[in-house]
Amino acid sequence: MTEKKIAVYPGSFDPLTNGHVDVIERALEIFDEVIVAVLHNPSKKALFSSQERVEMIKQSFNGLKPVEVDTFDGLLVDYAKIKNATAIIRGMRAVSDFENEFQMAMMNRKLHKDVQSVFLMTGLRWIFTSSSIIKEAAQFGGNISDMVPEPVKLKLMEKFPKLK
């Protein structure tokens, strides 16, 4: 029997965007299961708690796809090992993402040579979306409804009353 190919997709996901969803769907074309791993880092200032972020991701996929949602802390490669994942997925939007991603991938390889970093290009539609730019717009009532899944939009509306 061939072994299930598992990938970890780590990130802050504060909050999940349609760009992230696009990357997850692309990863599911290559891997049997994708574990969306939300970094739990209490010292990093975030809009949503890690539990809220996990809930929003779960609601967005609604158990329809082989997507597990979890939190992790400490080293990503240690988490990947525990989960039997053979790959780390990261989304790439523009060249500006490259330097930081390259550095992280090289460090992860140094720490654990058997886990591969796989970079997926987001769809052109999502090239300029990011959690931070969406939060910035939402805060001032900017319409972000086609950039995030519905459960995320509802949570953003709770945080930002100006958002309709």
Residues 137, 163: Cα–Cα separation, whole Å? 9
| 11 binds ligand PNS, rule: CB under 6 A | yes
Are 53 and 149 in contact by the 8 Å Cβ rule? The answer is no
Amino acid identity, residue 85? A
Beta bridge partners of residue 69, listed in sequence order: 36
Among 7, 39, 120, 138, the residue binding ligand PNS under the rule CB under 6 A is: 39
CB of 135 to ligand PNS, least distance (A): 13
**Closer residue to ligand PNS (CB): 23 or 156:** 23
CB of 10 to ligand PNS, least distance (A): 4
| 12 binds ligand PNS, rule: CB under 6 A | yes
- How many residues bind ligand PNS (CB under 6 A)? The answer is 9
Residues 21, 60: Cα–Cα separation, whole Å? 9
| 108 binds ligand PNS, rule: CB under 6 A | yes
| 10 binds ligand PNS, rule: CB under 6 A | yes
Stretch that binds ligand PNS, among 50-58, 61-69, 104-112, 133-141 (CB under 6 A): 104-112
Among 75, 82, 94, 127, the residue binding ligand PNS under the rule CB under 6 A is: 75
Query: Quick check: helix, strand or coil at residue 63?
Result: coil
Tokens of 21: 């969803």
**Residue 8: how many CB atoms within 10 A of its CB?**
28
- Strands of the chain (E only): list them: 6-11, 33-39, 67-72, 87-92, 116-121
Query: Quick check: helix, strand or coil at residue 51?
Result: helix
Tokens of 18: 């349609």
Query: Of residues 26, 53, 60, 131, which has the active-site annotation?
Result: 131
Catalytic residue list contains 44: yes
Question: Which residue numbers are catalytic?
Answer: 20, 44, 93, 131
Name the residues that contact ligand PNS, by CB under 6 A: 10-12, 39, 75-76, 104, 107-108
